[in-house]
Chain A
Amino acid sequence: MGLLDALQRVSQSPTNPHAPAAPRAFDVADLYRGPLAAPADAAAAGPPLDEKLRQAYFWIVNTAIISPHYDVEFNDGPPQSFTLGDSKSRLTLPSAQSYSSFVLLPLLTFATRRKCLFVGGPGRGKTASALLMGILAGYPVREVRRAMLHGHPQMTVADLLGNPLPADLVGAQKMEDIRIAWRQWLGMRVKIIDEYNRIPTRTQSALLTVMGDNYAEILNHVYECPEAAWYLTANDETGGGTYPVIEALRDRIDVIVQALSFNPRFMVDLLARIEADVRPEELVPRQIVFTEAEVDRLGEEVRAIPVPVDVGRRMEFFASQFEFCEVAADQWEYKTKDTARLAGADWAAVTALETGRDRLKDVGCQSRNGLSVRVLTTLFVYAKALAYFRGNRVVELEDVRQVLPFVLHDKLLPDLDAPFFTAAGNASFRTDRVGWLRRVFDLSCADYDRLNLDRDDPVAQLAAEFRRGLSGVTEAQTRARLVAIERLVTEWSKGRKLYGHLYDDLLVLKYLHQRYTNYLRWLKTQ
């Protein structure tokens, strides 16, 4: 078997073996499956799509991109952990199949047709990774290369979207007569924009329309783009490009992954590749190329993965930590960081007014903003996608924990003046966004456990009761529910300090109280 063959070999199934559920079935055809691939195997029906996705992952990570980083760690038992160096850095050897975020997140983006930004220094494989995603979608290498958009300071809207045909411009009597030569990339199911932070601001606005609303417009002509996975690259996602990236455009990006450094220990692989003069992108095995229908089905299957209630509750609890800002407003509903931001208030002055709470323990104090609906939606989608990728039937808390830093990477902004970042051992979180976000989630989950919310969550009970519907609920029952809400608020108002999750819970109680009040009023008219 030659290097070319080796580059085209995909990992043997199952790539992530799961314990079979009893009773298990044995297949006599397995007798002839083994280290040598049988010719019949190639003709056999393809594997399930999650298996195919894993095969694609392992082909990329083992063959195409020399990637020794396994930063998305999973364990099915206690992992081996070691402390090294003066700063007591911890190295963990995971006990279960773990993944490289640089390959995993783009693949999940491919499966869910979302938007992924690669960041990192030049020459670290950002563009190569994006290119591979285009090839996985079934496009020839040359076509993907040609359709790739390269950001540059002189890029115009015409460069981005297309041109009206010159002959039509001269002869047309009305706008409809002008034909537009749309750019090829608009029709691709994998869209790649290299160095997007070098695109001028005006052109970024046109790009925003395509990214946000999935259509392009020139001279009243509209081009509807197909659903696509987007890959953008930037040497510096924090605005260090030629032009600052407009906030709305940054907000459209679903996940951010960092291209980590090349490990020189793998130079021998690099050398073999140079000597054999092969380019992995030209050798993508056809077994891991997805048809359009398969990507459609991938999306459907990912969306069908359920999020269990207990996992969802922890996500709710986590999300509720950040928006609350007690001093931002007098009206209850406006006590949010967004209110302070919209008012243009000095952040340091606002936080200086915060008293009473333990700003070190309150995880909400670590951020300067809250989480948008778009971010929460993205978090759900990627958690589902990761569970699906791992071959699981439901989302586990660890799926959420692992994708969360990449989704919130530039969505949850740290308040670096918060006491958390000056506490002993936390200095590295000032620069390590991924590590910080995981730590915040862990702290939130620990708080959730401390409050015993899995077992004692009166708001969840009241909300569940309401969700069962008002049909048939009597006046007496309605009054009883109103009293229950008021009692709970009374109890909470007795000397308890306000935290983000309590604030959101109280908003829910107010909402329920209002719904019951309206219902009671209606009942009285019957």
Chain B
Amino acid sequence: MHATLAPSFASFLRAARPELNARFAEARRQRPDLDGEAFARFLREAVDPLVRAVESVQPERAPDVARTAYELGLELVGQGLAGPTARDRWVNAGWMEVAPTAAALVAAAPERVLGALSNALHRLAATPGARPAEWVDAMAALAPRCADADAFLAAGQVAAWRAGMAHYRAGALAAADALPPALALAAVRAPGGEWPELRRRLAADPWFDPSAPAAAGLRVVGRAGAFRGFGGLFAEPPTVAAAGEHFLVRSGGDGWLLTADAFGATFHRAAPEESKDARPSSVPPGVTARGTAVSVDGARVDLPELGEIAGIAANGSTLAVTSPLSHAVVLLALA
């Protein structure tokens, strides 16, 4: 962080001082908790580096970016989503770590890019199972490779999927199709190869991971969920049932839809009518569970940490296994 503000930002603040002060006063009237010091720190720590970055690529756009950032900052700090008193660090991280690397894109469409960045991080942070830190790193790396805001936002959708938002799988694949192949490959963090072939494999197998393409056969691919006392969702060991390509998970009186693939697993609150059907359901022929082991057509996986397996459900590609001794749902890839 610089000791002084960027010249263009400082001159903008000076020139628009009465107007900006009025905006702040109005915002505080709406949100009495809006703290002037916290907002000033947000301007220094998040907005100033961004304006500097914009100044270096498109100096003439710096005042517009500063004005937009000021407006959005009032809203974000007022809602407790950004600034030193923010509920979590992710929106700040987006402004400080991603936005400066996307300076040219922010300069072209400041409200659109900064708004999307903030909203995406807010959503990632609020989704159990998603990894906002991974998304921030990915976007900081991808931003300089994006030609425009459209590409940046599409890459962000793919990166969100890659950062654990498994429920966006179909939409993210479609978004990746609109990207240049090299950018699409980078967004899914594939070490190389051709996008069409990779896309085919990604679409065909939810457990295909471009960074470990050789993995195959019956294997543990994930553990989703944890005890509520340790920050998880479940008050008691869950039960599971298949629900199309997803799973319905029930614990106590609550129910969730579990979406999972190679990039992560996310839980979404299920409606009572969805969750009441959550009970161990029938599994495909050839799948058996005895004691702590699961067998599928001769292949066997032992899960001693689960104890006696009590619940098992399957969709076309995945087995979900639960036991009365664990608060996690263990996921096994079938092929």
Binding site for B on A (CB under 8 A): 1-4, 6, 19-24, 26-40, 272, 276
Contact = CB atoms under 8 A, between A and B. Distances in A.
B26 A36 contact: no
Interface in B108-135: 111-112, 114-116, 118-120, 122-124
Interface in B170-218: 170-172, 174-175
Nearest to A76: B272
B112 A39 contact: yes
Contacts of A24: 257, 268
Q: Which of B22, B27, B76, B119 has the most CB of A within 10 A?
A: B119
Given A19-B273, A39-B112, A40-B112, A31 B27 contact: no
A31 B30 contact: no
B112 A26 contact: no
B45 interface: no
A3 B270 CA distance: 37
B119 A36 contact: yes
B72 A32 contact: no
Interface string B243-283: 11110100000000101000000001011111000000000
Nearest to A34: B119
B74 interface: yes
Contacts of B123: 30-31, 33-34
B115 A38 contact: yes
A326 to B, nearest CB: 47
A7 to B, nearest CB: 10
A379 B79 CA distance: 43
B64 interface: no
A31 B165 contact: yes
A197 to B, nearest CB: 40
Contacts of A6: 30
Interface in B207-231: none
A1 B73 CA distance: 10
A3 B24 CA distance: 11
A26 B259 CA distance: 10
A440 to B, nearest CB: 32
Contacts of B161: 28
Contacts of A276: 26, 29
A340 B120 CA distance: 70
A39 B167 CA distance: 25
Contacts of A38: 111-112, 115-116, 119
A396 to B, nearest CB: 15
Nearest to A40: B112
25 contacts: A1-B71, A1-B78, A2-B22, A2-B30, A3-B26, A3-B29, A19-B270, A21-B273, A22-B248, A23-B243, A26-B168, A28-B161, A28-B171, A31-B156, A31-B160, A32-B115, A33-B119, A34-B122, A34-B123, A35-B118, A35-B119, A38-B112, A38-B119, A39-B112, A272-B29
Contact of A39 (B23, B111, B160, B174): B111
A36 to B, nearest CB: 4
A28 B119 contact: no
Interface of B: 22-23, 26-27, 29-30, 71-72, 74-76, 78-79, 81, 111-112, 114-116, 118-120, 122-124, 153, 156-157, 160-161, 165, 167-168, 170-172, 174-175, 243-246, 248, 257, 259, 268, 270-274
Given A1-B75, A37-B115, A31 B157 contact: yes
Nearest to B171: A28
A35 B243 contact: no
B157 to A, nearest CB: 5
A506 B214 CA distance: 79
A1 B168 contact: no
Contacts of B72: 36
B29 A32 contact: no
A1 B26 contact: yes
Q: Which of A28, A40, A272, A276 has the most CB of B within 10 A?
A: A28
B259 to A, nearest CB: 7
A272 B124 CA distance: 36
A4 B30 CA distance: 10
A30 B112 CA distance: 14
B27 A2 contact: yes
Given A26-B167, A31-B165, A31-B168, A36 B76 contact: yes
Given A3-B30, A35-B81, A22 B118 contact: no
Contacts of B81: 35
Contacts of B248: 22
B36 to A, nearest CB: 16
Contacts of A40: 112
B75 A35 contact: yes
